[in-house]
Structure 1
Amino acid sequence: MQAEIIEDSAKQEKWFSTKHLNGNLKSHSVKGGFSTIGGQLVSFLLNISSTVFMARLLSPEDYGLVAMVTAITGFVVIFKDMGLSAAVIQREHIDQKQVSAVFWINAGISLGIGLIIAALAPFLVDFYKEPRLLDITLVFAASIFVTGLSLQHNALMKRQMKFQALSMIQIGCTAVSVLLGILLAWLGFGYWAIVAYMVLNPVISVAVLWLTCDWRPSFSVKALEVGALLRFGAGITGFDMVNYFSRNMDYVLIGRYVGSGALGVYTKAYQLLLLPITQLRDPLNSVALPALSSLQNDKYKYQAFYRRFLFTLSFFSMPLVVFMAVYAEELILTVLGNQWVAAGPIFRLLAFAAFIQPSLSTIGLVLITSGMVKRYFWWGVINAVVVVTAFFIGVQWGVQGVAIAYAVVTYLLLFPALLFCFRQVPVTTAMFLKEISLPALFSLASGAAMFLFKLNFGQLPDIALCAAGFAVGAACYLLAWCISKQSRAKANQIFDIASTLMNRFKV
């Protein structure tokens, strides 16, 4: 019996200690980053496939109906995690009692949130004057409790940088949800195909995470053991709350004052724009969070890692967004079809904001890993007030007015965000601007080349024009990095990362 207890204790302890990772953090980070990006790439292709098929089988109204529900219910779901997953990853030392307490807190909150969302269903029906929202809301409510049971399993795997296993889970669950969504759309289930596609992925991942991560919560917990984690998580939850409110108020206003069809066009344009960006940004952020957390007591190593991370993110995200902005209409017609042609101008306007957003989002990563969660929350409040005000002004001119307002306010808040957030942390505003300057400049230059190519060869079929334009833009972008010794040295960082990865796999 004693041997079994010792064995079980050792099994649990392996998920808590991170000392074995610190000796080769760069290698773990690079391998984890590429594993996660690889998983995201496959998921991206699967999601694009579902978008191509489902957008042709479903109407903008179908997407608008689901967006009406998720814009409201998603706000409540923020409280499910309470920022505790990030706290588990960020803390230097954690133990079984702390993580178990966090698990039971998340489970209880998830149950409560599911009940709250179910209670909100009649309110949503009355608010939008749309009776079909009742059943949609109840289905989302039912899935909330289940998905809350794997939050800490996911966090522990990230803490141990087991990104390859997480990527495989993501790919498998995405494949199942995509296939079912397409099948239901083809069979004529309408908006239920979208609901199934959105709900099934996280629900299946719960079972797979429990099978993959053998950590199990215990009933022996103490409230005092989790106090520090709750205080840390409160700041993150507060930010997520106000940030979600500001980021989704455009959906609410468009749905309320313009209609479900217009909301469907807007959300589809926004989702299509974010799809490739999130496949790049999210895996890098997932790796950077535990890596920077482990370096929080070493200023110079922290700065070096952050600068390399920010440069890598900007190097890939900025030219990608420029390409999507130049070929907005062609991409919409190629991916979504003719019934979504109205999304083209919205897609381009939103791309102006998306150009800087992936890089700017690293502010939150710095504040979280530096333990500055109170400042993180207050910046969220300031940002939300300004953004929501802009949406209320923009909706007076319809969907395009909202998109323009979002783009304008993003750049108005750029320098205030940097100056407010980068105080008493290892990162400075000058450091941030230096790392993004060349990617931004060369991306805009490649955008000019792609625009000229489009003017001269616009008669090509949409898919051929996009492919050729992408090749032209990529060639010009890479050529720009060869102009000077300084730019070549910066670009070599990307090759250094690739070299580290290849050496890691040889070992």
Structure 2
Amino acid sequence: MEENLKRKTTKALVWSTADKLGQQLFYLVTGIILARQLSPEDYGKVGVLTIFIALSGILIDSGFSSALIRKKEATQADYSTVFYVNVAISCVLYGLLYAAAPYIAVFFKVPDLIYICRILFLVIPLNALSLIQQTLLLKHFKLSVSARVNLWSLGIASVVAIAMAYGGMGVWSLVAQTLGLSFFRAVFFWVFNDWRPRWIFRMASLREFFGYSSNLVVSGIINNVFNKIYPIIIGKFYGMTQTGYYTQADKYQDIASSLISNIFRSVAFPVFSKVQDDLQRLKRICRKNVRAIAFFIFPIMLLMVVVSYPLISIMLKEQWVPSVPYFRLLCFSGICSPFIILFFDLFNSLGYSRLNLQLEIGKKIYLFAGIALFYSSGILWLIGWWISYSVLSLAASIFFARRFLGYGFGEYVKDIFPYFILALASAILSCGVYLLLPSDLWRLCLVSVVYVVLYLGGAYMLKLEMLQEMLSMLKSRVKRGGEA
């Protein structure tokens, strides 16, 4: 059974990687093209609205997707009931936000937001239509279907957005990309998934899930409000242009951070849920995930800090250079995110959704205190407080991992330390090369190559576990391919 789970996990991880990497590459390429055609103000207008979409997603799902994944024998009645609840909530939320659009525009003093809100928020009911299909695919490790749907949908939506941007449609190209992605995903998930809702609605299913999911909903709301609150604060006090700089900086650091988070999250939670009764096995799997995350997150984020200026100025043009300081600082907070999300899913798999809620409340009180102190001191002060909040969040997660799983600070540091030190040493040596080069293009290209060679070469010489496992897996696949 353990070997079967390992095989399923490996296959799911491969497809999850292909899915998330493909999506982020799409976002990167289309983001570069769009940023060269659009203004920071255009991005600011969409950026201040992301909090409403994120909150709606939490309320629509209501934690039921996690509850369905966690329940080992979920029934057709369970899935159908949750589907109807999702759709009903989404329609109510869209109606409320449609009515609230004029007030949102007045708050930010941007009249255009009335029309942008009413069109953009259509993603809310569209996303609700495919939640159960996605949950079923994730629960049964059928991530190849999800990968195809996501990549096709994003590809079509991005082509439409680029065409509109070159046609001079400005902010509406960003709206079209978001709306198009949700529309095509909904269509394709229904086409490529056999599940259909039945005319069944059971209150017993809702009551069964509610105790577990209610804590997830509240913690999700709290988390999303504060995670997305910076664009609102910056938009209100510093204007749409600065909001555009911030959202772009956050978007590009998040490409790497969320890529790693989502790859592991799409596999980790279902695996954690399947072995939740075997704590020793769960601990081994958790530690392996921590080492794997460390192997990727430290070198990627530190490399982006080193090459941040040429990266932004070459990819997005000089108009985006003011976002570089924001980008550098946000990269440091991005290092913590995949670990925090991993522990969040670990606690949920053990049934401690209430603990996650309590943690979120405590962390957000700390974050709110910093916002209240520094909202008028400048954007860099706000980002600095965000970094301290990320570190505190990770420390709190490790504290409770020790309590429930026996996985404490000592073992955590032991797991990540080799990868952190190697990535830091590679960054310092690469900075020396950076200072010797004459142009931004040379700095971006050559320093990146030097950094990767230093990191992978060091990992090979030190025989770091994760690189050895990856090489072993690669050799095995090549061998099987040769035999075939």
Tell whether the structures are fold-level matches, with TM greater than 0.5.
yes
1:354: Cα distance to partner? Answer: 1.4
1:288: Cα distance to partner? Answer: 1.2
1:349: Cα distance to partner? Answer: 1.2
Identity %: 22
| Matched letter for residue 429 of structure 2 | A
Bigger shift: residues 230-239 or 260-269: 230-239
1:500: Cα distance to partner? Answer: 6.1
Give aligned pairs, total. Answer: 483
Q: Does residue 198 in structure 1 map to residue 174 in structure 2?
A: no
Tell me, what secondary structure is at the counterpart of 1:346?
helix
Question: Which of residues 434, 441, 452 is equivalent to 1:463?
Answer: 441
Question: Which of residues 320, 330, 340 is equivalent to 2:320?
Answer: 340
Question: Which of residues 471, 478, 494 is equivalent to 2:456?
Answer: 478
Q: Deviations over 1:403-455 (max 9, x none)?
A: 22212332244323321454224644433332222211111111111111111
Tell me, what secondary structure is at the counterpart of 1:253?
helix
Is the 1:366–1:425 contact (alpha carbons within 8 Å) kept by the matching residues of 2? no
Q: Deviations over 1:3-22 (max 9, x none)?
A: xxxxxxxxxxxxxxxxxx86
Is the 1:44–1:275 contact (alpha carbons within 8 Å) kept by the matching residues of 2? yes
Cα–Cα, structure 1 residues 504 and 65, in superposed 2: closer, same or farther, change >3 Å? farther
Measure, in 1, the Cα distance between the counterparts of 2:279 and 2:73.
Answer: 19
Measure, in 1, the Cα distance between the counterparts of 2:424 and 2:306.
Answer: 11
Question: Which of residues 363, 367, 370 is equivalent to 2:343?
Answer: 363
Measure, in 1, the Cα distance between the counterparts of 2:29 and 2:337.
Answer: 25
Q: Does residue 53 in structure 1 map to residue 29 in structure 2?
A: no
Question: Which of residues 77, 84, 93 is equivalent to 1:97?
Answer: 77
Is the 1:302–1:426 contact (alpha carbons within 8 Å) kept by the matching residues of 2? no
Cα–Cα, structure 1 residues 214 and 296, in superposed 2: closer, same or farther, change >3 Å? same
Measure, in 1, the Cα distance between the counterparts of 2:136 and 2:283.
Answer: 25
Measure, in 2, the Cα distance between the counterparts of 1:364 and 1:70.
Answer: 22
Question: Which of residues 238, 248, 261 is equivalent to 2:241?
Answer: 261
Measure, in 2, the Cα distance between the counterparts of 1:411 and 1:216.
Answer: 43
| Matched letter for residue 228 of structure 2 | N
Cα–Cα, structure 1 residues 497 and 317, in superposed 2: closer, same or farther, change >3 Å? farther
Q: Does residue 64 in structure 1 map to residue 44 in structure 2?
A: yes
Measure, in 2, the Cα distance between the counterparts of 1:501 and 1:431.
Answer: 32
Measure, in 2, the Cα distance between the counterparts of 1:48 and 1:395.
Answer: 30
Measure, in 2, the Cα distance between the counterparts of 1:500 and 1:145.
Answer: 45
Cα–Cα, structure 1 residues 301 and 97, in superposed 2: closer, same or farther, change >3 Å? same
Q: Deviations over 1:348-380 (max 9, x none)?
A: 111121122222321101111111100011111
Is the 2:133–2:193 contact (alpha carbons within 8 Å) kept by the matching residues of 1? yes
Task: With the length of structure 2 as denominator, give the TM-score of the two structures.
Answer: 0.95
Is the 1:121–1:137 contact (alpha carbons within 8 Å) kept by the matching residues of 2? yes
Cα–Cα, structure 1 residues 288 and 205, in superposed 2: closer, same or farther, change >3 Å? same
| Matched letter for residue 54 of structure 2 | G
Tell me, what secondary structure is at the counterpart of 1:24?
helix
Question: Which of residues 93, 104, 107 is equivalent to 2:87?
Answer: 107
Measure, in 2, the Cα distance between the counterparts of 1:380 and 1:202.
Answer: 28
Measure, in 1, the Cα distance between the counterparts of 2:433 and 2:331.
Answer: 20
| Matched letter for residue 46 of structure 2 | V
Q: Does residue 30 in structure 1 map to residue 10 in structure 2?
A: yes
Q: Which runs of 5+ in 2 are unaligned?
A: none
Aligned to 1:275: 255
Structure-to-structure mapping, 1:295-374, within 5 angstroms = 295-374=275-354
Q: Which runs of 5+ in 1 are unaligned?
A: 1-20
1:176: Cα distance to partner? Answer: 0.6
| Matched letter for residue 192 of structure 1 | W
Tell me, what secondary structure is at the counterpart of 1:188?
coil
Tell me, what secondary structure is at the counterpart of 1:423?
helix
Structure-to-structure mapping, 1:279-294, within 5 angstroms = 279-294=259-274
Bigger shift: residues 349-358 or 406-415: 406-415
| Matched letter for residue 80 of structure 1 | I
Aligned to 2:398: 418
Measure, in 1, the Cα distance between the counterparts of 2:367 and 2:348.
Answer: 22
Cα–Cα, structure 1 residues 206 and 237, in superposed 2: closer, same or farther, change >3 Å? same
Q: Deviations over 1:264-295 (max 9, x none)?
A: 00111100111122223212210111111111
Aligned to 2:464: 488
Measure, in 2, the Cα distance between the counterparts of 1:377 and 1:498.
Answer: 40
1:247: Cα distance to partner? Answer: 0.9
| Matched letter for residue 206 of structure 2 | V
Question: Which of residues 390, 393, 407 is equivalent to 2:370?
Answer: 390
Aligned to 1:18: none
Bigger shift: residues 305-314 or 184-193: 305-314
Task: With the length of structure 1 as denominator, give the TM-score of the two structures.
Answer: 0.90
Is the 1:76–1:117 contact (alpha carbons within 8 Å) kept by the matching residues of 2? no
1:195: Cα distance to partner? Answer: 0.6
Is the 1:299–1:426 contact (alpha carbons within 8 Å) kept by the matching residues of 2? no
Question: Which of residues 160, 165, 189 is equivalent to 1:185?
Answer: 165
Q: Deviations over 1:170-202 (max 9, x none)?
A: 110010111111111110111000111112112
Question: Which of residues 34, 46, 62 is equivalent to 1:82?
Answer: 62
Tell me, what secondary structure is at the counterpart of 2:376?
helix
Cα–Cα, structure 1 residues 47 and 499, in superposed 2: closer, same or farther, change >3 Å? same
1:51: Cα distance to partner? Answer: 1.1
